[in-house]
Amino acid sequence: MPEKFDVIVVGAGPAGITAAYCLAREGLKVILIERGEQPGTKNVMGGVLYRQMLDEIIPGFWKQAPLERHVIDQQWWVLSEDSALKVGQRTAVHDREPYNAFTVLRAKFDRWYAAQAVKQGALLITETVVTRLLRDTSGRVIGVETDRPDGQLLANAVIVSEGANTLVLEASGLRARPRADTMAVAVKEVISLPREVIENRFQLQGDQGAVIEFFGDSTLGMVGNAFIYTNRESLSVGLGAMISDFQRRRVRPHELLERFKQHPVVAPLVAGGEPKEYMAHMIPEGGYEAMPPLYGDGFLVCGDAAGMVIAVHREGSNLAITSGRLAAETVVEAARAGDFSARRLAAYREKLQASYVLQDLRQYRHTTPVIEKIPQFLGVYPSLVNRALQEFLTVDGVPKKVKEKKILRMILKERPVTALIGDAWRAWRAFI
């Protein structure tokens, strides 16, 4: 007879670790199953971790957790083939405790976070793959099966937090394989550089950090973006775009990354660095419309597995953490009532709706589809604005009046007035 737990959590990413932490803290018998050698070894996130959500769970976590740098400088660079239009902010407000966001290396961070869940009493099992959910004849989820000998376990509730690649949900008949136009693939390198070099190059002091997001030429105009984040002694450099775009354009992600690193304005930022790690991962970017069922009899779904990513704000880990916490709260209430039916677990959806998680996901539900349908957003405009600026900034004896006309002609040649207005309107709709 397999051992029975109150709750089984599938996958030790931010969502699963949070759920296990909160459940164990309430005294429930929890097992957290991770397929990687350690939590975090399979994770690829850039990444920027926002403080607020985790601070609610472990107050002051940022004083002990292995974080890289606190972010004081955020920039967005719009790239053409040879230039960059830069927008950004550096703020002293984010340089003050308790800080707004941190860069992290997930291998270190997840391991630390999982250890906190273990301290609360959660049982962590690594190097074990959950292969499917066990369901009784009525369809209720009653446990999991793993790839280990004697590998079944039973539970009152299973929290599925397996990340973007939802093999467990699919194998259990709870969702279909996601479509290629709802999935992005991202590649990332960790490039090591001496601390002083990073601090000079990005004008940082101590543990201050900078992050840059790149649009346009960095992904050949495909829907997606590239990024450079500063760690203590390395840079996280990567990019991602929709799988369907990669298929259509017949480019490989790692080739695109190599090309990006050689871009004339990017190359100096990464010069002299030694690549230490290379990783690839999927990001669910289908948004609100592509989400699987969030709960059912005996189970709940959190984080990336539930499609909780807001790509334009590079938010994912925070949604994962909040959804993990709300799933745990729901299960604690269900345990008190002794009822793990879908009707009872529906409280999870209500909690998500009352929080920023589903509200933000709803608000941005058009963003990716709209950007996808209007290729000029990331294809035409980045090079157009850069050419216009270049023209404007080049001092060559041509009178300004003539120059302005020339720029206008250049723009209108690419996009007629009506198209410009239409694009602006759709862009507005996409984000608001």
Partner 1 sequence: MPQSQGIHAVVCIKQVPDATEVRIDPKTNTLIREGIPSIVNPYDLHAVEAAVQLRERFGGRVTVISMGPPQAAEALQKCIAQGADEAILLTDRAFAGADTLATSYVLAQAIHKLNQERPVDLVFTGKQAIDGDTAQVGPGIAARLGIPVLTYVCGIRSFSLEERNIVVERLLEEGREVVRARLPALLTVSKELNEPRYASLPSLIRAARYQVKIWTKDDIAADPNQIGLKGSPTVVGRIFSPPERQAGPRLAGPAPEVARKLVEQLRSRGIIAMGA
Ligand X SMILES: Cc1cc2nc3c(=O)[nH]c(=O)nc-3n(C[C@H](O)[C@H](O)[C@H](O)COP(=O)(O)OP(=O)(O)OC[C@H]3O[C@@H](n4cnc5c(N)ncnc54)[C@H](O)[C@@H]3O)c2cc1C
Query: Which of 80, 330 has the CB closer to ligand X?
Result: 330
- Is residue 161 involved in binding ligand X (CB under 6 A)? yes
Q: Contact at 8 Å (CB) between 283 and 317?
A: no
Q: What is the DSSP string of 274-320?
A: EEEEEEEEEEE--GGGG----EETTEEE-GGGGT--BGGGTB-HHHH
Q: How far is the CB of 282 from ligand X (least distance, A)?
A: 7
Binding mask 120-139 for partner 1 (x = CB under 8 A): ---xxx--x-----------
3-state helix, strand, coil in the chain (%, to 5): 40, 25, 30
Asked whether position 196 contacts partner 1 by CB under 8 A, the answer is: no
Give the nearer residue to partner 1 in terms of CB position, either 8 or 212.
8
225 contacts partner 1 (rule: CB under 8 A): no
Q: Is 153 in the site for partner 1 (CB under 8 A)?
A: yes
Q: Which of 93, 97, 138, 149 binds partner 1 (CB under 8 A)?
A: 149
Residue 286 phi, psi (nearest 5): -70, -20
HSE-up of residue 205 (Cα within 13 Å, Cβ side): 3
Instruction: Report what 152 binds from ligand X, partner 1, none; CB cut-off 5-8 Å by kind.
Output: partner 1
Residues 33-72 that bind ligand X (CB under 6 A): 33-36, 39, 42-48
Considering the complex, what minimum distance in angstroms separates the CB of residue 16 from ligand X? 5
d(CA 163, CA 16): 9
Which of the listed partners (partner 1, ligand X, none) does 258 bind, with a CB threshold of 5 to 8 Å by partner kind? none
Dihedral of CA 322/107/39/293: which sign? positive
CA distance linking residue 122 with residue 116, whole number of Å:
9
Q: What is the β-pairing status of strands 299-301 and 295-296?
A: antiparallel
Single out the segment in contact with ligand X by CB under 6 A; choices: 6-14, 214-222, 386-394, 413-421: 6-14
Q: Which does 11 bind (CB under 5 to 8 A by kind): partner 1, ligand X, none?
A: ligand X
Which one of 93, 138, 150, 337 is in contact with partner 1 (CB under 8 A)? 150
> Measured between alpha carbons, how far is 340 from 90 in angstroms, rounded to an integer?
48
Q: Which residues bind partner 1 (CB under 8 A)?
A: 3, 31, 37-38, 123-125, 128, 146, 148-153
